[in-house]
């Protein structure tokens, strides 16, 4: 009896080691199952779709982007809670002057590549996010019966253009010169919105503006289409500014402008694919 009780109650060293190994393995299983609770995948990287860095961004943008960028900015803030985007709109040449003077800003979007190219020392690598083209803006109902570019040379017509240093003014002179049309503008404005305003208020009979700007004044002005062979295409490059205090957030915003979501907003406003 004594021998039988002793053999059944005591375990050999090998048996004890086996039992300990089984217990340890059982304890490790739930720990392994919890190992990714920190939101990282097996490679230790955060999953795709992580929101951009939070920041208060200031973006310098061409006047012709005024309406569409207000929509785009609201969409970006909704996608990236905690980020605020403030725009400063002006003629591209004015924006370039602000950059050179060290104005505090994070990104820049101009209405031409020439202006952006002149700021290579101040910006990151630019990317064209949209294109645009010109139309003739006239009063509602086209009271002066303007049908084509050649009509702008009529001495009895009050025509307003943007100044030649403004992208839309340079494009305007380009297409008029190419068609050998002599236009004596009654005024030269600092940006495209100022040209549009002159026509809206009846202070000018006609003016050359971007198609997208004319679309913002439906019911106040009519837009006369210019044939593609006589027109000019405007490129809109976007870039970060090297003086930005929010480099990562600025880069994220500039990249977002080329995403399907941002491109749809631009297309809906009449801008063309880059």
> What's 143's domain CATH number?
3.40.190.10
Examine the domain organization and report whether 83 and 215 are in the same domain: no
Integer CA distances (angstroms), 230 to 112, 122, 183, 248, in order = 18, 34, 15, 42
Predicted pLDDT at 71? 98
In a domain? residue 209: yes
C-alpha span between 141 and 106 (Å, rounded): 42
Low-confidence ranges of the chain (pLDDT < 70): 1-51
C-alpha span between 235 and 232 (Å, rounded): 10
C-alpha span between 107 and 115 (Å, rounded): 14
Examine the domain organization and report whether 141 and 188 are in the same domain: yes
Predicted pLDDT at 52? 81
Q: How far is the first Cα of the chain from the last one, in angstroms, to the nearest whole number?
A: 95
In a domain? residue 251: yes
Examine the domain organization and report whether 127 and 204 are in the same domain: no
Examine the domain organization and report whether 123 and 250 are in the same domain: yes
Examine the domain organization and report whether 63 and 81 are in the same domain: yes
> 179 Cβ partners below 8 Å, 6+ apart?
149, 150, 230
Predicted pLDDT at 50? 55
Strand partners, 221: 139, 218
C-alpha span between 30 and 220 (Å, rounded): 69
In a domain? residue 51: no
In a domain? residue 252: yes
Predicted pLDDT at 19? 43
DSSP 3-state of 56: strand
Examine the domain organization and report whether 110 and 160 are in the same domain: no
In which residue are the tokens 């952006």 written?
Answer: 116
C-alpha span between 69 and 212 (Å, rounded): 12
Report whether 199 contacts 207 (CB < 8 A): yes
Question: Domain containing 82: what range?
Answer: 56-131+235-268
In a domain? residue 140: yes
DSSP 3-state of 236: strand
DSSP 3-state of 268: helix
Examine the domain organization and report whether 182 and 252 are in the same domain: no
Torsion angle of the four alpha carbons 174, 176, 179, 181, in this order, in degrees rounded to the nearest 10: -150
Dihedrals phi, psi of 39, to nearest 5 degrees: 85, 5
In a domain? residue 154: yes
Per-residue pLDDT tens digits for 201-249: 999 999 999 999 999 999 999 999 999 999 999 999 999 999 999 999 9
Report the greatest alpha carbon distance in the chain. Answer: 131
Examine the domain organization and report whether 192 and 145 are in the same domain: yes
- How big is the chain, counted in residues? 274
In a domain? residue 33: no
Predicted pLDDT at 42? 37
pTM, entire model: 0.80
Predicted pLDDT at 62? 97
Examine the domain organization and report whether 248 and 124 are in the same domain: yes
Token couple for 151: 């009509």
How many distinct structural domains can be found in the chain? 2
Examine the domain organization and report whether 144 and 227 are in the same domain: yes
Report whether 152 contacts 206 (CB < 8 A): yes
In a domain? residue 212: yes
Examine the domain organization and report whether 126 and 259 are in the same domain: yes
Predicted pLDDT at 51? 67
Examine the domain organization and report whether 152 and 119 are in the same domain: no
């Amino acid at each position: 009896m004594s021998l039988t009780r002793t053999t059944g109650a005591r375990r050999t060293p090998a048996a004890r080691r086996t039992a300990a190994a089984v217990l340890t393995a059982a304890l490790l299983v739930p720990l392994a199952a919890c190992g990714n609770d920190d939101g990282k995948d097996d490679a230790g990287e955060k999953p795709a779709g992580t929101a951009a860095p939070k920041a208060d961004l200031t973006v310098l943008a061409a006047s012709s982007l005024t309406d569409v960028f207000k929509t785009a900015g609201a969409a970006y803030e909704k996608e990236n809670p905690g980020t605020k985007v403030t725009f400063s709109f002006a003629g591209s040449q004015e924006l370039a002057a602000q950059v050179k003077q060290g104005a505090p800003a994070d990104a820049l979007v101009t209405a031409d590549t020439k202006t952006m190219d002149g700021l290579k020392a101040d910006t990151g690598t630019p990317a064209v996010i949209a294109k645009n083209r010109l139309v003739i803006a006239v009063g509602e109902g086209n009271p002066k019966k303007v049908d084509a570019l050649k009509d702008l040379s009529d001495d009895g017509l009050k025509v307003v253009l943007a100044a030649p240093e403004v992208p839309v003014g340079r494009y305007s002179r380009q297409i008029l010169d190419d068609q050998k049309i002599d236009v004596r503008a009654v005024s030269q404005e600092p940006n495209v919105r100022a040209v549009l305003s002159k026509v809206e208020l009846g202070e000018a009979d006609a003016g050359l503006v971007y198609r997208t700007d004319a679309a913002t004044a439906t019911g106040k002005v009519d837009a006369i289409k210019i044939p593609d062979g006589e027109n000019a295409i405007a490129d809109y490059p976007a870039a970060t500014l090297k003086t930005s205090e929010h480099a990562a957030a600025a880069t994220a915003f500039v990249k977002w402008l080329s995403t399907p979501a941002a491109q749809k907003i631009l297309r809906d406003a009449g801008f063309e694919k880059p």
